[in-house]
Structure 1
Amino acid sequence: MTLNVLMLSTLFPDISRPNFGVFVERQARELAGRPDVHVTVVAPIGLPPWPLSKAARYAPLLALPRRERWQDMTVYRPIFRIIPKFGGRTNVYGMTRAILPLIRRLHAEKPFDVIDASFFFPDGPVAQRLSRALGIPYSVKARGADIHYWGTRPGTRKMVKRAADRAGGLLAVSAAMKRSMAKMGIDDDKIRVHYTGVDLERFEIADRAAAKEALGFEGPVVLCVGALIPRKGQDLLVRALPHLPDVTLLFAGQGQYRRTLEKLAEELGVDRRIGYLGSVPHDRLPRIYAAADVMALVSASEGLANAWVEALACGTPIVISDVGGARELVDRPEAGRIVEREPEAIAAAIQALLDNPPDREAVRETALRFTWATNGDALLTHLQTIAQHGAD
């Protein structure tokens, strides 16, 4: 019997944002590749009213097809209206109103068995409303900021909690995330820890010296992979750099925070030792990881960052802050260090790994449990259970 899944995700790549939610796409492909599973992806696009929608940042989104084949899946991209800087709770109502006619039509053509919401906000509350309208169960996955931010804000906390309470089941990207959800009053018996996956054939150990030469780098290289936003803590890495005189720091990611980082680097006199790679296509990341001696990401909050796992799979140890599932991943010295979010502590941890680099095969061993096959098995069992209970 085929399981017909509606995957609802505001985190999903498109031609203008190929790295946006790439881990959600990979999870969707794993699930869709299973026998007797049919996945339809609805990835709503939030755009402001005209004439703001004509702004340069929104033009590529406006040009996207409303329906397309993406990696052998059918993806719908209906538009809903957002109010820049005032979104939040209004996005739930706007998105639901915009996509419900499409969902009703698709459900009438081929009834869905379960809704899989990829992010807790706004996807979770929207899934709750779709569930009520169509009479089918739903699941929501918590990944990080959706709980730590939207789950704590006065205007959205109740919606997050209500979506959790009425879901047939819930997923958390780490055990630490599950504990955070329980502290909000969410029933932890409903929550299943669902680790991310990593493509172990693509993200593998490669010759570091050759990778550095190919990219034009010399000496120790520290890499940070993540959007350039304050929460990711890239400023702390810049402040750590004066304590690491021979190190080149690379940022793989983009964001408006880059201007702040550039100004700080100039003030500290380290601007010539920092490289900004921009948004690196996901399939090019392995060789960037290969060139790095250490991958550092000292975020204020995370669930379980894909960049952590990808770096380890490439044999590159990590220096990360004590957030989210950090301790579930860095469970042995070879994996790297968990540090306080202070420049001196960060620099000391990086220097320790540079002075005594761990065996790269031992580093990679840490990531071998995070496979997409395991991820897909767990997700399929989870959704089948919810669909079955919803039909009882």
Structure 2
Amino acid sequence: MQEGIFLIKTLLFSSLYPNSKQPRHGIFVENRLRQLLKSRQVETKVVAPIASFPLKFGPFKRYAELDPVPQRELLNQIDVYHPRYTVIPKIGHNLTPKRMAAAALLVIREIINNGFDFDVIDAHYFFPDGVAASIIAKELNKPLAITARGTDINLFADYKTSGAMIKNAAEHSSTIICVADSLRQKLIAKGVNADKISVLRNGVDNTIFYQLAEDEREDLKQKLNMLGLTVLAVGNLSKVKGFDLLLDAIAKLSDVKLVIVGEGEEKETLKRKADALNLYKRVKFVTNINQNELCEYYNAADVLALSSVREGMPNVVLESIACGTPVVATNVGGVSEVLNENCGIIIQNRDLNELVAAIKETLGGKFNRNSVAAIGAENSWSQTTQGQLDIFNMIKGKKA
């Protein structure tokens, strides 16, 4: 280890983190952490709170689905704790940070008492997680780094109460990391000190997401039943991801298939819409696949479509171009920071006809897959990892 570099102990805090029942939930947070741990300069434990509600039926059954997740588990050799905090659906939104913090503090004090006295809290997602982490940091007198990731700033920061909580947490943090410059600009516009904000984009693990040879790609199209022109969409099946618009677009594109990879509360609604549009033979829903399998889907697809209403820095865009697959995306979050005219098309107005035209143009052979993959290969994790190390070492130095 180089002189002047210290072993840093961090406590990663976020409800957006995988668990044994949801292996892809918040996987972008886990991916960044795993790359950081490869530096061998950081030791980490994770506290990933899980929401709980006494009623387990009807609209509340989703809370019961996570009951089997243990209070503590080892995921990819990382020690992960899952304290439960009680939520009040729909009406208790602004109470969530305090409830989350109270439940997590019990576990965190135990972690400290057992010998892991960390140097910094590494929190992800400003609301409610970052606000809860701010409460915890004050209680324990610990430095705090908060990463802004998307909807936390693009939506919750605009609400009066949660926006005030976010600004307060930002002011009391040691540093703020944004995954896109668009988020940095919005925080500055909200009055947050620009000097404490760094932009560290998500990266891509090029040992997992990479371009396959053309003959392998053809074999994959056969294996995955993606023969013919195929559009791929990947993400949480929620309203904000805008899959409904994409289904409308596919309905206007005869002989084009759509594969949707993801799980979420809108799944059954989207399936019903696909049936109503008479797309049941052309739309396939895929769930529970690992990262290596996802790489295969990217390679087999002819285009990735992102039709989101809001985003931070969408990992699916980075992963797709790393595999050589061009992207059609709405102009949200940090999309314009990674897509250019050589690897994708950005739709400015989130308009159905624009989306249809962009998909048609891409399927018509506008992009060279080798050129797209070369651009994607530039988005490695190395700069992000070094940026985190610099930030955490600075915080530890000030603490000392």
TM-score, normalising length: structure 2: 0.92
CA contact (8 A) 1:172 1:193 kept: yes
In 2 relative to 1, CA 135–301 (structure 1 residues): closer, same or farther, beyond 3 Å?
same
Alignment deviations for residues 346-375 of structure 1 (CA, whole Å, 9 cap, x no partner): 111111111124221210122223223332
Segment of structure 1 superposing worse, 230-239 or 289-298: 230-239
Question: Does 1:120 find its partner at 2:126?
Answer: yes
Question: Does 1:32 find its partner at 2:41?
Answer: no
1:8-47 equivalence runs, <5 A? 8-47=13-52
Whole-angstrom distance in 1 between the partners of 2:19 and 2:173? 28
In 2 relative to 1, CA 67–54 (structure 1 residues): closer, same or farther, beyond 3 Å?
farther
Q: Structure 2 counterpart of 1:338, which letter?
A: I
Whole-angstrom distance in 1 between the partners of 2:352 and 2:56? 44
Question: Does 1:167 find its partner at 2:173?
Answer: yes
Name 1:185's counterpart in structure 2.
191
Whole-angstrom distance in 1 between the partners of 2:235 and 2:118? 35
Partner of 1:228: helix, strand, or coil? coil
Segment of structure 1 superposing worse, 224-233 or 9-18: 224-233
Question: Does 1:314 find its partner at 2:358?
Answer: no
Name 1:293's counterpart in structure 2.
302
- Name which of 313, 338, 362 aligns with 2:346: 338
Matched residue pairs, number? Answer: 390
Alignment deviations for residues 27-79 of structure 1 (CA, whole Å, 9 cap, x no partner): 22222333342111111111113666996533342222212222122111111
Whole-angstrom distance in 1 between the partners of 2:143 and 2:100? 19
Name 2:261's counterpart in structure 1.
252
Whole-angstrom distance in 2 between the partners of 1:92 and 1:179? 25
Q: Which segments of 5 or more consecutive residues in structure 1 lack a partner in the other structure?
A: none
- Name which of 76, 82, 106 aligns with 1:77: 82
Name 2:373's counterpart in structure 1.
364
Q: Structure 1 counterpart of 2:103, which letter?
A: A
Deviation of the 1:204 alpha carbon: 1.1
Segment of structure 1 superposing worse, 298-307 or 240-249: 240-249
- Name which of 226, 231, 244 aligns with 2:240: 231
Partner of 2:73: helix, strand, or coil? strand
In 2 relative to 1, CA 249–53 (structure 1 residues): closer, same or farther, beyond 3 Å?
closer
Name 2:3's counterpart in structure 1.
none
Q: Which segments of 5 or more consecutive residues in structure 2 lack a partner in the other structure?
A: 1-5
Question: Does 1:57 find its partner at 2:65?
Answer: no
Alignment deviations for residues 262-289 of structure 1 (CA, whole Å, 9 cap, x no partner): 3433443333211111343333101111
CA contact (8 A) 1:88 1:155 kept: no
Partner of 1:353: helix, strand, or coil? helix
CA contact (8 A) 1:44 1:95 kept: yes
Whole-angstrom distance in 2 between the partners of 1:69 and 1:102? 16
Deviation of the 1:382 alpha carbon: 1.4
Alignment deviations for residues 304-337 of structure 1 (CA, whole Å, 9 cap, x no partner): 1010111001100000011111111112x22110
Whole-angstrom distance in 2 between the partners of 1:235 and 1:51? 28
Partner of 2:122: helix, strand, or coil? strand
Deviation of the 1:118 alpha carbon: 1.3
Segment of structure 1 superposing worse, 263-272 or 177-186: 263-272
CA contact (8 A) 2:55 2:61 kept: no
Whole-angstrom distance in 2 between the partners of 1:19 and 1:54? 22
